[in-house]
Amino acid sequence: MKDTIAAIATPPGRGGVGIVRVSGPDARAVGRRLFRSSRPGFAGLLPYRLHHGWVHDAAGERLDEVLAAFMPGPGSYTGEDVLELQGHGGPAVLRAVLAAALACGARMAEPGEFTYRAFCNGRMDLTQAEAVAELIAAPTAAGAALARTRLAGDLGRGVAGLRARLEDLRARLCVAVDFPDDEVECLAPEAFAAGVRAVREELAALVRSFERGRVWREGALCVLAGRVNAGKSSLMNALLGRERAIVTDVPGTTRDWLEEALDLDGLPVRLVDTAGLRETGDAAERAGLERGRELTHRADVVLVVVDRTLPLAEEDMALARALGPGRALAVLNKADLPGAAQEQAGPGTLGAPDAAQWFAGAGFEVAHVSARTGQGLAALCDALRARALGGGAGPATGELVPNMRQARALAAAHDALEALEADLRAALPYDLLGVALETACTHLAEITGEITPSEVLDNVFGAFCIGK
C-alpha cells in the first residue's frame, strides 16, 4: 500500500482511446518525468485538469500524444494520488507508455488492486467494490441498474443500519447481564423479541430479492431439448436471428451443446442447443447427450421442441413428464406445415394434431412456432421471458439486490436470529442470548467488509481485471 502501481486501464485490443493509470505516493513524480506539455510556460500538473502534451521515455523519445490528468488523494478513485494518461488505444503504444511508467519506479498492479486500495482507504465498502466488477460485467441495462444501486452504497448502508439495530440490542443485553439487580433501563422480553423479529424479516426480504435478481445478473439458462430433427438448431438460429447452429437433415448433426447469449427485452438469457434424444452407438454423441441431460437438469426453463409433422412419441412425453410444467414449455415446431395424420401414429404414439391436447392436458403451456418462417416466435419469447422471471417483473427500480456472497451472509445472519427467537421462546437467560446476536452482527459485518477474512478479499478482488 506504500508503493506506486501502474496498469493499462482499458480493455485489450485496439481502440480509439487507451488509458494508463498510476496510483500511489509517487504518481505525481512519475507524471513529471513522463509528461511534456504542449503549452509554453507549463506550470505543472494541476489537480483535476486535463493537460495536453506528449509522453516521453527515459531516452527522451516521444511515445504518444496524450491528455494527462492528476487527481490528488484523498479525492481520487483509490484515495491516493492518481495519474491518468489518456492516449491512443493501440496495444503497442499502451505497452510502451506502461513500460515507461514502470521504469520511473512504479510496479505492475495486481488484478483489482486499484479498487482494493479504494476499499482499504475507505473510499468504498466491500459491497461497492463488488459492484464495480458487476457493473463492468453486466450483460444488460437491467443488470447494470442493479449494480449501480450497490455502487451508490445503498446496500451497504442498508446492511449497516440493520447491524446497528442489532448492536443496540446487544448493548441492552449487556446492561441487563452486567447489572441484573439494579434498576437499569433495558428491553422487556416482548420488546426484545419484536426487535429481533423485525430485523430477521428484513434479512429474509433481502435474501428473496437475491433469488429474484439472479437471472438479471447471471442470465436465465434456457435449454432446447427434444428428439433428433425436431428443429432445435433451426429454432435457436431463428431466436438469435443468425445461423449459429449447423442445420441438416442428417440425424445427430448436433453432438455437443451450443450456448449463445440472447437479450429478451433486457433479460439476459443463456440459450443452449443440445443433442437430439435418440439411441446411438456413437461415443461422442452419447457424451453430448449426457451433457445435455445435465444442462436440462440445471436449466431455469426448458423448451421441449416437438416436430408437429410427426407423431408424438413416448420420448417426447417421457421428457415432458420428467421436467414438469413448472420448468418446461412445449414448443410445437413447423407450424407452417400440415400436421401428422392420425393414421401415421404407431403403437405408443399420438397423432401430431393431438400433441397440443396432450401437453395442454398435462398442464404445459404450448407455443406453436415455425423456425423457418418466424411464425409464433414473438409469442414464444414473451412466454420464455415470463417463465424465466417466474411470472414476476423482476426487481423494482432501486431495490436492494445482493449478490451470492452477500446473500449467503444475509442468510447466515437470518438463521442466527431465527435460533435466537427460539431461545427467547424457551426463556433462556440473557447472558446466553448474546452469542447469537454477536454471530448475526459478524455475518453482516462480513458483507460490508468491516470484518472479512483475507481469503474472501482475495476471491473478490482476484476476479477483477488488472487495470481496475
| Each residue's pLDDT tens digit, 216-244 | 777 788 999 888 778 888 888 888 886 66
Measure Cα distances from 225 to 24, 26, 203, 319, 385 in Å: 54, 59, 38, 9, 17
Indicate whether 148 and 254 sit together in one domain.
no
**pTM for the full model?**
0.73
pLDDT (tens digit, 9 = 90+) per residue, 76-94? Answer: 999 999 999 999 999 999 9
Residues 6+ apart with CB under 8 A from 21: 6, 7, 8, 9, 82, 83, 84, 114, 467
344 and 238 in a common domain: yes
Choosing from 334, 355, 388, the residue where a domain stops is 388
* Domain final residue pick, 330, 364, 388: 388
| Residue where a domain stops, chosen among 89, 124, 159 | 124
Given a cut of 50, the residues of the chain with pLDDT beneath it are: 183-184, 246-248, 250-255, 278, 341-353
Q: Can you give the residue range of the structural domain that contains 457? A: 131-214+400-462
In this structure, are 256 and 357 located in the same domain?
yes
Give the model confidence (pLDDT) of 416-425 as tens digits.
Answer: 999 999 988 8
Please indicate, yes or no, if residue 9 is contained in any of the structural domains: yes
Q: Locate 340 and state its grid cell.
A: 401428422
Alpha carbon 237 to chain centroid distance? Answer: 26
CB 48 within 8 A of CB 69: yes
In a domain, 408, yes or no: yes
Same domain, 75 and 89: yes
The residues, ordered by sequence, that sit 6+ positions from 130 with a Cβ below 8 Å of its Cβ are 150, 403, 405, 406, 460
Supply the DSSP symbol for 339: P
Instruction: Report d(CA 160, CA 157) in Å as an integer.
Output: 5
Based on the domain organization, do 90 and 171 belong to the same domain? Answer: no
Whether 395 is covered by a domain: the verdict is no
Quick one: which of 124, 131, 201, 121 has its CA closest to 406? 131
317, part of any domain: yes
What CATH number did the domain enclosing 312 receive? 3.40.50.300
Give yes or no for a cis peptide into 268 (omega within 30° of 0): no
Domains identified in the chain, total number: 3
